[in-house]
């Protein structure tokens, strides 16, 4: 399956670990320079659990992230640290800073301290 395809997004959302009980919000991620051009991914999290994830730009977002396709791939494969990429300006954030500060340490821990999911072995880029 292709990275960031509808099938990928569905499987990723269903296999993701909870984010932490206090995390809730609508996050839109804009991914640029991909094989299909620019795409948006919307994730709705409630009490740490992904309730919904889909391709497209959701309305009423609490947080918006912008990054390149190459960086999105590297983050998924645990080859990059989201905090470092944010500090370098490669990962841009706008919106609810409190939500960002809840998500970033959890994301960083997963990206740098845990093994990749089995999904990574079935994805093409």
| Residue 115: predicted pLDDT | 84
Find the CATH number of the domain harbouring 63: 3.30.1050.10
Supply the range of the domain harboring residue 45: 6-107
Q: Is the residue at 69 inside a domain?
A: yes
pLDDT per residue of the chain (125 residues) written in tens, 0 to 9: 999 999 999 999 988 777 777 899 999 999 999 998 999 999 999 999 999 999 999 999 999 999 999 999 999 999 999 999 999 999 999 999 999 999 999 999 988 888 888 899 999 99
Among left, alpha and beta (phi > 0; psi -120 to 50; other), residue 58 is: beta
Quote the pLDDT of residue 98.
96
**Is residue 99 one of the residues assigned to a domain?**
yes
State pTM to two decimals.
0.93
| Look-up of token digits 């300006």 | 89
Count of domains in the chain? 1
Cβ-contact 40, 57 below 8 angstroms: yes
Strand partners, 49: 46
In a domain, 115, yes or no: no
Q: What's the confidence (pLDDT) of residue 118?
A: 87
In a domain, 121, yes or no: no
């Amino acid at each position: 399956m292709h990275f960031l395809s509808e099938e990928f997004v569905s499987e990723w959302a269903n296999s993701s670990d909870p984010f932490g009980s206090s995390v809730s919000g609508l996050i839109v991620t804009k991914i640029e320079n991909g094989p299909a051009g620019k795409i948006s991914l919307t994730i709705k999290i409630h009490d740490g659990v992904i309730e919904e994830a889909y391709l497209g730009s959701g309305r009423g977002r609490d947080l918006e992230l912008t990054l390149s396709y190459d960086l999105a791939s590297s983050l998924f494969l645990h080859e990059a640290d989201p905090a470092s990429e944010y500090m370098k300006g490669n990962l841009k954030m706008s919106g609810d800073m409190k939500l960002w500060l809840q998500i970033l340490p959890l994301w960083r821990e997963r990206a740098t301290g845990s093994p990749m999911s089995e999904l990574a072995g079935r994805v093409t880029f």
